Structures are given as structure tokens and as C-alpha cells.
Amino acid sequence: MSRFGKMPNNRTTRRFQRELNNEKFAENRRGVAGHAAGFWLCVHQPEERLVRRLGKVRTLAGVAIGGAAGALGDSDRGVLGAAVGAAVGAAICAGKDKDKDGVKDQNDRCPDTFPGAEVDQNGCELDFDGDGVPDRLDECPDTPSGARVDERGCELDSDGDGVVDSKDRCPNTPAGARVDENGCELDDDGDGVVNSQDRCPNTPADTAVDNNGCELEPAYEMIGVNFEFDSATLTADSKAALDDALKILGRHTQLIVEIAGHTDSTGSAEYNQKLSERRAESVRDYLVNNGVDSNRLTVKGYGESEPVADNATREGRAKNRRVEMRKED
């Protein structure tokens, strides 16, 4: 008997020692858990989608998990394990670079960069000319700013004439047509009618031509110009023929013409004379309203005096009702 009371026997001592060791082992396990959990999120992130979205919060996630795991115990060793686990988790998260582009994942806005590609400070591939195609794939690296490009990074050539859209002044060239450096069809004889439409390709210089590139006839009939019955009102289907005349006058700005009106022989000669004058005036007014200088146009009605076909037939009378554009010296 001790003066301090009954001494514990050996069995009690061993049991106490085992319990103490078990508690220390549990604390050690909590510390290890703090270490492991702290960097688990970085080592085993499933596809890393959730953590990647959190950006820089990834580091804090490692801290939080490490801290939570280590702090399950209330001993100093458990707290130490939590702190160390949190620190390890934070260090691993902060230092990871999945695509090996030199930009850490927490700052990488393009986390799946092609291996070996040059990147900017955000981890995204370089695009020197800013056309949306990275330099690694760009076959035309000096594209002008704002130009539309294809998947190769080269400017579009919508009409396929060999001149890119940004330099093409004639963007709807027919397929196969030869063009100049501006993307416009060639006009070898300089008559204002491009080669693909020129039926008279060797017209002498300064010759007024029609829309086929052939010398303008002294009396150019405006085929297709029609009027309402017994009227000087142009029909809607006359516009195409009138627009053809506008092209000729627009191409030859020095050309001065007479608008000549004609009728068939139906009715009195006096009436037909006045009707032909009114119809010629209607044509003149259309041309002036669409940009032709009125000083280049004169008007004259010829009535039924200059038939080109037999007024005894329906077909002949139709041919005699006409409007011509006559060149003046």
C-alpha cells in the first residue's frame, strides 16, 4: 500500500498505455487526413470542371478541405495536421499547369492549349493579326484588321476572281471572267463594255456603242418601250428598255441625242403627230428624272410619217409604234 493510495497493477498500466497510444494514433491519422484532403482536390479533380470554374478559389478549396479534415480532432496534433494539409493543398493547387503552356491553371483562360503552342499571359494561343485564327493554324498571318477570313486565316474571295473581298471593287464578277488588280472585268477596247459582254471587241476608240459593245446605230430603237392605249403613259414593262438607254447615255457622257416618237397610221395624221410628240416627251422625262442632263436631249414627234413596216397589217402597225434615240452631231 502506498501512501498515495493503491498502486495500479501491471494490467491496468498496460491498458492505459494502449488507450493513450490509440488516441495518439487517431490524432496522427487526423493529421494525415489533413495532409491528404488538402491536396486531393488538385490531384484527383474529376475532369477539373468544377474547380476550374472557380478560378483562383481553387487554392482556397484546398485550404478548406485540408483544414476541415485535420480539425476533426481537438488536440494540438490534429490542428497541426489541418494546417499542414491545408498548406500542402494550397501549394499544389496554386502550382498546377495541366496543359504545360507555362501559365498556371488558376490563371489559364484557355486550359486545353495545343501542345507546344505559343501563348499569351492568359494561356491562350497567339493570334498576331487578330483574325480569330491562331498563329499555329494561320496560313495568312498578315490579314488586314476587320477582314473576313476562312478557316485557314486567309481573306475571303466571294466571287472567286483571285482578288480578295477587301480589295475587290467589282465583287460580283461572273465566274471565269478575267479581271484587273481591282477585281473588275477587263475591257480591252476601252468602250465601256466588259469583254464577257462585248460582241464587238475591237471597237475603235471614242466610238459610242450600245450595250453589246457595238457601234451605236444612227437611230437606236428603244425596243420594249410601250404606252397605254391611245396615251403617252409608259407601261410598267417599259422600264428595262428605258434603263438600257440610261446605260448608254451614262457610258457616253458627251453623247447628245434626239428622242424621236412614231405612231402607226390609225387615226388622223394631225392626232398621231401630237401623240408621237407626247410619247417622246414621256421618254425624255423618264431619262431626265433618272439623272440624264436635259441639255443632252431633244424631243421630236414624227407621227405616222416614217413607217418601218406595212400599216395594213397588225404586226406592221406594232413595229411602226416606236421610240428611237438618234445621235446628233
Q: Where are the domains of the chain?
A: 10-95, 127-186, 217-327
**Is the per-residue pLDDT at 193 higher than 90?**
yes
pLDDT at 267: 94
Measured between alpha carbons, how far is 303 from 299 in angstroms, rounded to an integer? 13
Measured between alpha carbons, how far is 264 from 267 in angstroms, rounded to an integer? 9
Quote the pTM value: 0.57
**Per mean pLDDT, which of 39-43, 81-85, 112-116, 264-268 is the most reliable?**
264-268
Measured between alpha carbons, how far is 164 from 169 in angstroms, rounded to an integer? 10
Measured between alpha carbons, how far is 131 from 147 in angstroms, rounded to an integer? 7
**Is the per-residue pLDDT at 288 higher than 50?**
yes
* 268 phi and psi angles, rounded to 5 deg: -80, 155
pLDDT tens profile 52-68: 444 445 445 555 555 55
| Cell 507555362 -> residue | 102
Measured between alpha carbons, how far is 113 from 220 in angstroms, rounded to an integer? 69
pLDDT at 257: 98
Q: pLDDT band for position 47 (50/70/90)?
A: very low
Domain 217-327 has CATH 3.30.1330.60: yes
Q: pLDDT band for position 284 (50/70/90)?
A: very high
How is residue 224 written as a grid cell? 420594249
State percent of the chain over pLDDT 70.
71
73-94 mean pLDDT: 56
**Is the per-residue pLDDT at 49 higher than 90?**
no
**Is the per-residue pLDDT at 315 higher than 60?**
yes
Give Cα 78 to chain centroid, integer Å.
62
